[in-house]
């Protein structure tokens, strides 16, 4: 059977950035291909080039042998390619049923009134995707999962030859993931070609026939889900390299009330489930790593602990609930977060940023802390008169950690400290964390996608996946049990 969708030599540039470099693949009718890669790998750009949302700089996109590359999106949709968006943007005044009817109507201004047959077909589609009970409601009244079902219903109505599905399971509960998997599988059984775009292999493994892995716009590997998960290059991209662990001395206080105790924490962003029933604990003096791919919920977890986003569940600090406390009160109480985005004051000098972090300290204590920090990060002493925005990425990360340490945290939360850093800076940062561990009584909660950085510093590891904790244990067990499953 010839390919229904054939992509060849696809290139897309944004100014000087090459977002997609010579990507090619084919999908037959009745086949599902998973396109995976970390954030920034180019997979969404590939999908937009196929759909005509972005115009490729080079390459072909053939639908049943016809090259549609560069066509406007409405022509490509009419030709037979449908896109199921991750984020629904429904019409506000039309009911669910009316949305499906609109998708069923031909692109003809003279045929804007649906006949009885079209209405019946819309009702059948609503029932098929699980919307029969809400088809007369407006989208704003629907839960997040039903908004995703509506996007699927609109794709079913257009009856495309090729279906593109962006991040199909983001924000869904486990039961909803099972429902959506069945719906997507039904496209395959009806002979459609399906392209699933997702962060990781594991999320789509049970559904896809083949997987193509990308990284930084380039092809990495292709094959079955099992083959791609075993591929050394893919493992290096996702894990950061070879998993190594370090033996840890037993910590005092084991078995006592945890310093931080999080129970049943859930967070919604609008109607999307960003965190679902997450429970973790951190003992005094522990280094705990929370690992997970981009979008798994690490930052949301840390922001909920710090009081930056509303949540349900309980966060207890030294046995007392943090409910009702402001982020400033939580930080002054000893929980200090160093955010993924660093949030430095770019026009202020290095020293001014540090002094801002230590403004509540008595002068003598502030002087002692500055001296200690300059010993920990000598480059900050050299750059202390320099504006923060002129520092390199690695130097800015050191400054962000230094500013957090100036607040004398009892618990330091580090969110993706390795993001965008060169290997030499990673090694320096790793040595600094080890020195903190050996010479202070500080407790650290580290969130990382880079497992090979997170594990050597960890006493315990939690794995977050699709907003839930799916694994907990010590680093040595992670290397044995969870390493392959992390993908």
- Write down the domain spans for the chain: 5-239, 260-482
Residue 288 and residue 248 in contact, taking contact as beta carbons nearer than 8 Å: no
Split at pLDDT 50, 70, 90, the class of 102 is confident
pLDDT at 329 over 90: yes
Rounded Cα gap, residues 485 and 201, in angstroms: 9
Out of 19-28, 91-100, 234-243, the most confident range is: 19-28
- For the chain, what is the total number of helices (H) and then of strands (E)? 18, 20
pLDDT for res 25: 94
Q: For residues 259 and 282, is the Cβ–Cβ distance under 8 A?
A: yes
Cα–Cα distances in Å, from 37 out to 5, 216, 228?
Answer: 20, 9, 11
CA dist 434 and 194 (Å) reads 47
* pTM flag (> 0.75): no
How far, in Å, are 92, 151, 169, 257, 462 from residue 273 at the CA level?
Answer: 22, 17, 11, 29, 19
Cβ within 8 Å of residue 87, ≥6 positions away: none
Q: How confident is the model at residue 484 (pLDDT cuts 50, 70, 90)?
A: low
Give the Å distances, CA to CA, from 332 to 328, 341, 361, 378, 398.
Answer: 6, 21, 11, 27, 21
- For domain 260-482, the CATH superfamily is P-loop containing nucleotide triphosphate hydrolases (3.40.50.300)
The answer to whether domain 5-239 and domain 260-482 are alike in fold is yes
Per the model's pLDDT, the better-predicted residue between 486 and 327 turns out to be 327
Say which CATH superfamily domain 5-239 falls into: P-loop containing nucleotide triphosphate hydrolases (3.40.50.300)
Separation of alpha carbons 247 and 243, rounded Å: 13
> Per-residue pLDDT for 442 more than 80?
yes
> Tokens 């320099």 — which residue?
386
| Alpha-carbon span 405 to 63, nearest angstrom | 56
What is the chain's alpha carbon radius of gyration, rounded to the nearest angstrom?
Answer: 25
Per-residue confidence (pLDDT) for residue 62, from 0 to 100: 93
CB contact at 8 A, 149 and 131: yes
pLDDT of residue 452: 77
Nearest to 164, CA basis, from 122, 141, 215, 198: 198
Buried b (16+ CB within 10 A) or exposed e, 382-413: ebbeebbeebeebbbbbbbbbbbbbbbbbbbb
Are the CB atoms for 169 and 96 separated by under 8 Å? no
With vertex at residue 420, the alpha carbon angle to CA 418 and CA 426, rounded to the nearest 5 degrees, is 40
Nearest alpha carbon to residue 288 among 482, 429, 444: 444
Whether pLDDT at 110 is above 50: no
DSSP structural state of residue 249:
P
Which comes out higher in pLDDT, residue 476 or 94? 94
What helix, strand, coil percent values describe the chain, rounded to 5? 40, 25, 35
CB distance 239 to 486 below 8 Å = yes
């Amino acid at each position: 059977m010839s390919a229904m969708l054939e992509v060849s030599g696809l290139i897309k540039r944004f100014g000087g950035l090459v977002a997609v470099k010579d990507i090619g693949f084919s999908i037959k009718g009745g086949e599902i291909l998973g396109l995976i890669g970390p954030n920034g790998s180019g997979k969404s750009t590939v999908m937009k080039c196929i759909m005509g949302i972005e115009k490729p700089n080079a390459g072909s996109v053939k639908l049943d042998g016809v090259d549609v590359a560069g066509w406007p999106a409405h022509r490509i949709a009419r030709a037979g390619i449908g896109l199921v968006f991750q984020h629904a943007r429904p019409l506000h005044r039309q009911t669910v049923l009316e949305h499906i009817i609109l998708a069923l109507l031909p692109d003809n201004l003279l045929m804007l009134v649906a006949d009885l047959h079209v209405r019946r077909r819309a009702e059948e589609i609503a029932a098929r995707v699980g919307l029969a009970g809400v088809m007369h409601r407006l989208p704003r009244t629907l839960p997040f999962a039903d908004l995703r079902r509506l996007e699927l219903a609109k794709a079913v109505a257009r009856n495309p030859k090729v279906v593109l599905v962006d991040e199909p399971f983001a924000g869904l509960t486990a039961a909803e993931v099972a429902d959506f998997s069945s719906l997507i599988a039904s496209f395959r059984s009806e002979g459609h070609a399906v392209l699933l775009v997702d962060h990781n292999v594991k999320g789509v493994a049970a559904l896809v026939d083949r997987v193509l892995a990308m990284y930084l716009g380039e092809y990495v590997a292709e094959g079955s889900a099992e083959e791609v998960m075993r591929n050394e290059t893919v493992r290096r991209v996702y894990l950061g390299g070879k998993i190594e662990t370090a033996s840890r001395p037993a910590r005092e206080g084991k078995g006592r009330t945890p310093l931080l105790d999080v129970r049943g924490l859930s967070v919604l962003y609008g109607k999307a489930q960003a965190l679902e029933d997450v429970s973790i604990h951190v003992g005094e003096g522990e280094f705990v790593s929370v690992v997970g791919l981009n979008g798994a919920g690490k930052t949301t977890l840390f922001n909920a602990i710090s009081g930056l986003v509303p949540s349900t569940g309980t966060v207890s600090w030294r046995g007392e609930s943090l409910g009702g406390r402001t982020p400033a009160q939580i930080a002054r109480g000893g929980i200090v977060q160093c955010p993924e985005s660093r949030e430095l004051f770019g026009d202020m000098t290095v020293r001014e940023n540090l002094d801002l972090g230590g403004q509540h300290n008595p002068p003598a204590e502030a002087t002692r802390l500055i001296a200690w920090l300059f010993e920990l990060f000598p480059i900050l002493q050299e750059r202390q008169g320099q504006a923060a925005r002129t520092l390199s990425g690695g130097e800015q990360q050191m400054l962000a950690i230094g500013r957090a340490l100036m607040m004398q945290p009892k618990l330091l939360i580090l969110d993706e400290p390795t993001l965008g850093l060169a290997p030499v800076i990673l090694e320096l940062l790793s040595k600094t964390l080890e020195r903190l561990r050996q010479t202070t009584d500080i407790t650290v909660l580290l969130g990382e996608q880079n497992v090979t950085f997170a594990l050597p510093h960890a006493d315990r590891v939690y794995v977050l996946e699709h907003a839930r904790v799916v694994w907990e244990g010590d680093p040595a067990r992670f290397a044995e049990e969870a390493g392959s499953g992390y993908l």
